[in-house]
Structures are given as C-alpha cells and as structure tokens.
Structure 1
C-alpha cells in the first residue's frame, strides 16, 4: 500500500492492510508524525498554541511554502496562527470582504483547491493579490465539528499544482485533528470564563451584602437589575463594582 493509499484509508476510516512493523519507512514516518501531532495538540495550552502546532506540522508534512489557520469567532474572522506575513496578507484581504477560496470554503463547508493562481479565473482580484505575493497554488480545508465549520486550514505553495491527491488526503487528516483540538480549546476557554464570571459575581455580591446588609438573593437581584438597566453583562457589572467599590451609575 502506498503512502497515499494508507492516508486515504485513514480519511475513509479504514485501517491499513498491513501492521505498522512491516510498513515501508516512509509510511511509518507518516504515522509517527501524526502520533507526535496528536501529542503536541494534547499538550497545547490554549488556542494560540494549538493552532501554531497545526501550521508547524503542515509545513513538515505537506508540499507547501506557507500555512495558516483562520477561525470564526462570533461571526468575525480571526487569524491566530500563520507561518509568515504572506498568509496574514491573504487572510486579511478576504477578511476585508474580498471574495476568495477561504470565504467559499467557510460558507460551503467544502475543500477548495486552486491549482494555479495564474490561470484560475474564479476570483480575479484575489488571484492577482496572492500571485503578487508569490503564491501559485492554494488548498483550503474546513475545520469542521459537530456544530459546524469553526475555521479553515490554508495551505499555500510557490509552485503551481503543488497539491495532489496525497497532499489533499493528508490535509484532511490534519484538519480533522485540528478541528477537535480547536473545539476542545474553545470549550476549555469557555468553561474558564464561566468559572471566572462566577467568582467575580460572588465577590461583588459579598461587597453588597456587607455594605448594605443584604442576603445573597437580594444582592444578586441588585446586580442583575443593574446589568439589565445598563444593558451590560452581569460579569462586567460585577467587575466594575469590585474595582471601584461603587455600583455603576
């Protein structure tokens, strides 16, 4: 079984036909690379470190000159990790409203391949931009979880037609690992923020209870009322009370 066949089998969820100890050295190396990636992603602390591990691995495992990850947060495009300013420029161009493969991949939850920016005519303005940056071929793969597409893994090469079936298969495996890692990182961040918010609200309630001789239910009701009247998050009202020792005006 060739490297490409082995990788495509993993993409399709089929195990390899031969045990790892008899695989050719190139196939074993690919398996070791993905095993190391899984460890790196597991050990990553926070979102930025997670996506940096993804793009670093992309440069090692794929025929690309540049790589990057773009994430969607509250409807806004964020660029947490790129291998160099070339990718940042390409992402920012599309984040500004220009049409391109990243936008299409995000919208349609589909992989988009551009074999040559000199001949592809789907997005003329985008093609001219990336060609001027020295990029000839592009592969955008969506990072998808059960809740939808959370971002895009973008691969870029200075060579035309750099991404064949083998590279695309590897990119899908990498995107699958990255999707889970990014979703987990976001969940951990959300939980941490929730815990922090509860602590802040608890401290603010304690201040109100001591100063105005309120019980915990009344203190929480006061915070909630100020939050609603000012159209601000309960956490922000609590933070201001803790810092100023005064209720918001």
Structure 2
C-alpha cells in the first residue's frame, strides 16, 4: 500500500497511485480496467471506455464502465463512422460538446442522445507513430468537459498509452513462448510416433497448419491432446 501526503494535490496523488497500479497490473485487461477506474475519479465524466487498435487498422473494445458505452461503440464499428473511428484513425483528440447540436456525425449523435449522453471526449493513445487505441470519456450533461478535464485527460492518455503498449507486448511475448513450448512438445510426440527427426516433425506440423488454415500452436495442441495428427 502506497502512503500519500494528505496535503498533496488530489490530482497528483491520483496519478501517483495510477502509476503504481498500472505497473503492478499483470495483464492487458487489468491495465485497461485500471485506466478506466482512474478516469472516473480524475475527470468529470459519468462513463468511460477504451478501444484498442488491432491488426489491419481494426478496433476492438477493450473495456467499458457501463453496457451503454459498448452499445455506442458497436454502433460506430458496425456503421464504420463516428468520432471514435476518426480519433483512432487520425490520432486526433475529438470532443463533442453537445450531442444535441453537433452535426458532424448525425446518426451517431442521435444514438448518443438516445442513450442519454450529452458530451463526449475521445483521446487517442499512441507511442510515437504506433497507434495503441482511444480512451473515451462520456458525460450525461452537455458541455461537461472544461480545460482542466482536458489537461487531466491528456496526462491520463499518456500514462495509458505506455501502460497498455507494454502490457500488450508482455502478453504477446508470453503467448509466443507458450506457443514454442507447445510446438516443441508436439514435435517430440511426432518424432517418437513416426520415427522422424525434428526437421521432419516440424515440417509435418507446418503442413497441417497451412492445409487446414489453422494456427500452428492450435495444431500442436491437438497433437498433444490426442497423441496423433489431427484428422485431415
């Protein structure tokens, strides 16, 4: 437990606590959840959400603090239009002061109003040229976000960009190590069962992966589970 000076400004204490919690978060999911919970505390928002940039420029919902935010996210992802996608694609801050008067995305604005949202702020997350995602802040009131909120959201977005990027990297490295272990075990099974060397065993796994359009690690897992080659 971290001790804080009670005379220290609330925002400084909040971000100090955030830095500690993000450092200790063991996964992408928990990192994203920590960012959203701090957003609710530090910014004048009713709800928050975070969308992650996936391969091919796609967007995937990381987490939301309320199901209605997921509905609004899904609406944009299905329509292929909205401030979230523009913020993600162009790495720009997009604020909607009043969903009742904003005319840039009329269908999205109507959906946001129907969900009871008055104002929205999208903050892009990026490390250099690498797009990480978008942090979204929502309020039921129009004109809810002032200059102080924007400044705090800037700092939060910078913290979140680094933390999420590192968490995703660590998770990918762990998955890669696990995949190598699975492939190694499957190769050992094939080498004994079919009396082949390591190169031949790997070639067999690779062929099954390509022919069935199945990830190599999944083919390896099937070999481990059944002690035999998958049906093909």
Judge same fold: TM > 0.5, yes or no. Answer: yes
Equivalent in the alignment of 1:214: 196
1:233 aligns with 2:215: yes
Give the conservation status (yes or no) of the 8 Å contact 2:190–2:228. no
Report how many residues are paired.
Answer: 226
1:73 aligns with 2:54: yes
1:45-124, aligned counterparts within 5 Å? 45-74=26-55, 75-124=57-106
Deviates most, 160-169 or 30-39: 160-169
CA shift for structure 1 position 109: 0.5
Give the conservation status (yes or no) of the 8 Å contact 1:98–1:126. no
Equivalent in the alignment of 2:206: 224
SS in structure 2 of the partner of residue 149 of structure 1: strand
RMSD of aligned C-alpha atoms?
Answer: 1.8
The whole-number CA distance in structure 2 between the counterparts of 1:89 and 1:72 is 18
Gaps in structure 2 of 5+ consecutive residues: none
SS in structure 1 of the partner of residue 143 of structure 2: coil
Give the conservation status (yes or no) of the 8 Å contact 1:241–1:247. yes
1:39 aligns with 2:20: yes
Gaps in structure 1 of 5+ consecutive residues: 1-20
CA shift for structure 1 position 100: 1.4
Q: 1:120-144 deviations in whole A, cap 9, x for unaligned?
A: 1111111111111111111000011
* TM-score normalised over the length of structure 1: 0.85
* TM-score normalised over the length of structure 2: 0.91
1:143 aligns with 2:92: no
